[in-house]
Amino acid sequence: MRMVDIIAKKRDGHELTTEEIQFAIQGYTNGTVPDYQMSAFAMAVFFRDMTDRERADLTMAMVHSGDTIDLSAVEGIKVDKHSTGGVGDTTTLVLGPLVAALGVPVAKMSGRGLGHTGGTIDKLEAVPGFHVELENEEFIRLVNENKIAVIGQSGNLTPADKKLYALRDVTATVNSIPLIASSIMSKKIAAGADAIVLDVKTGAGAFMKTAEEARNLAEAMVRIGNNVGRKTMAVISDMSQPLGLAIGNALEVKEAIDTLQGKGPKDLEDLCLTLGSQMVYLAGKASSLEAARAKLLEVMQNGKALEAFKTFLLAQGGDTSVVDDPSKLPQATYVVDLPAQADGYVAEIVADEIGTAAMLLGAGRATKESEIDLAVGLMLCKKVGDQVRRGEPLVTIHANSRDIEEVKQKIYNSITISAQPVEAPVLIHDTVTR
């Protein structure tokens, strides 16, 4: 087999065989297929697309390019959730304990990474003492006992995807449905998921700018998952403005604590209930999505969801007294209200711009070497559609430096106030089941 023939076949719009796809991915992983051939291949896929069968084969070829996590010692159906980007997205922190409280095993492998705020592990480290340095046996034992544990990323998962994603980034081939869908799904499957729930974001803060594009990606991923034997569902949700009110690490932990008790922002709660219902249903713990939602509401109200969060934190060294007294979480020195400059209605809060403002405060990493400040971030006081009076706080800034002029300007630039009433955006555009 020769890579040049595979490229030509795809260039001419033909369907590749399983063996041809495996040849390309294995060769690229071990270096016998060079970057220039893989670039041409990615561009051919970009223009010619892939059939469902090719997409499933590409996904599994990437899964098998490196290590896979064996969660067979964890009892029950392991459901993983993935969100495609977003700003101040607190759903992971809420969903873990929420579904664990219903007996759904959450065996989460998480990373730190770059972004507006930290990754899930960074956020959890706002809880004093909490750590993710667990031996594998300990990790499995905790998931079986408590139904939830989080461990740091280890091993060599989907090296083909790492290499290919970096190559796509510099060859204008990121924005291709078969390539994005196989990239995301390969990582979830390699991490041991039996079933997968996807939260595909749409809007200014998201990868997919329109609901239409997001639906195409969601459907592609749901088909891949089901075609390779992982029950998969998706939600298409709005990220034109940030989800919830908190953007920052300790601030999001506090927001998660509130939401686990049904006292969080309504949009965050609603999305967590929708995604959580799919997780509970796919794990076989409820007979319908509606029944799953009712059970989730029950554990929010009877304290079991919060209890699951405490048990989880305690098992990994965390000081659970922060749950009852969130003022024990890291606090910023300066807490400054940013006043509205006009009367009117909030028409726009550009999610990625606000996220960048939080990052400038130190809430996220601009480069791999940056240190995160867990205490800093932003609390939105208004969301799109809310009425606002001149001088009323729009956003509360939590900073550890007095020098926040640039941040203030960035926030003002990202929020538009209109004289006319504005409708709040729809949060959940759609759900995709098989």
Q: How many Å apart are CA 238 and CA 425, to the nearest integer?
A: 8
Give Dmax over CA atoms of the chain in angstroms: 69
Select from 256, 206, 247, 243 the least CA-distant residue to 395. 247
Nearer to ligand URA, 107 or 177 (CB): 177
In angstroms, give the least distance from the CB of 177 to ligand URA. 10
Q: SS3 sequence, 298-344?
A: HHHHCCHHHHHHHHHHHHCCCCCHHHHCHHHCCCCCEEEEEECCCCE
User: Residue 291: which residues within 8 A CB-CB, separation 6 or more?
Assistant: none
Residue 184, contacted partner among Ca ion, ligand URA, none, CB below 5-8 A by kind = ligand URA
Closest CA to 105 of 285, 229, 257: 285
Q: Which is nearer to Ca ion, 225 or 242 (CB)?
A: 242
183 catalytic per annotation: yes
Q: Does residue 184 belong to the site contacting ligand URA (CB under 6 A)?
A: yes
Catalytic residue among 64, 116, 187, 398: 187
Task: Output the smallest distance, CB 84 to ligand URA, in A.
Answer: 6
Smaller CB separation from Ca ion, 92 or 182 = 92
- What's at 127, amino acid-wise? V
Count of chain residues binding ligand URA (CB under 6 A): 6
Q: Which of 92, 158, 183, 226 binds ligand URA (CB under 6 A)?
A: 183
Is the Cβ of residue 16 or residue 179 nearer to ligand URA in the bound state? 179
* Under rule CB under 5 A, residue 90 binds Ca ion: yes
Q: Which stretch binds Ca ion (CB under 5 A): 147-155, 237-245, 302-310, 407-415?
A: 237-245
In whole angstroms, what is the distance from residue 275 CA to residue 238 CA?
13
Q: How far is the CB of 235 from Ca ion (least distance, A)?
A: 16
Task: Provide the token pair at 301.
Answer: 């109200």
Given the rule CB under 6 A, which of 176-184, 216-224, 294-302, 353-361 is the region that contacts ligand URA? 176-184
Shortest CB 85 distance to ligand URA, Å: 7
The verdict on 232 binding ligand URA (CB under 6 A) reads no
Rounded Cα–Cα distance for residues 349 and 289 (Å): 32
Figure out which of the listed residues 144, 165, 393, 428 binds ligand URA, where binding follows CB under 6 A. Answer: 165
Q: Which listed residue (246, 256, 299, 384) binds Ca ion by CB under 5 A?
A: 246
Mask: binding to Ca ion, 302-321, rule CB under 5 A, as x and -?
Answer: --------------------
Q: Which of 10, 147, 168, 188 is catalytic?
A: 168
Angle made by CA atoms 24, 30, 31, in degrees to the nearest 5: 80
CB of 246 closer than 8 Å to CB of 254: yes
Rounded CA-CA distance 377/399 in Å is 7
Active site residue 168: yes
Report the nearest approach of ligand URA to the CB of residue 270 (Å). Answer: 25
Distance, in Å, from the CA atom of 429 to the CA atom of 189, rounded to the nearest integer, reads: 26
For residue 385, give the 3-state DSSP assignment.
coil
Smallest separation (angstroms) from ligand URA to the CB of 227 = 18
- Residue 180 binds to ligand URA (criterion: CB under 6 A): yes
Among ligand URA, Ca ion, none, the one that 88 touches (CB under a kind-dependent 5 to 8 A) is: Ca ion
Mention every residue, 6+ apart, whose C-beta is less than 8 A from residue 79.
Answer: 99, 104, 105, 106, 193, 194, 195, 196, 197, 279, 282, 283
For residue 187, indicate whether it is catalytic.
yes
Nearer to ligand URA, 200 or 332 (CB): 200
Burial class (CB in 10 A: 0-12, 13-18, 19+), 288: exposed
CA 158 to chain centre: 18
- Comparison of 86 and 362: residue with beta carbon closer to ligand URA: 86
The CB-of-239 to ligand URA minimum distance in angstroms stands at 14
If the CB atoms of residues 88 and 276 are measured against Ca ion, the closer one turns out to be 88
Q: Which amino acids are annotated catalytic? A: 82, 161, 168, 183, 187
Query: Which residues contact Ca ion (rule: CB under 5 A)?
Result: 88, 90, 244, 246
Which residues of this protein are in contact with ligand URA, per CB under 6 A? 165, 179-180, 183-184, 207
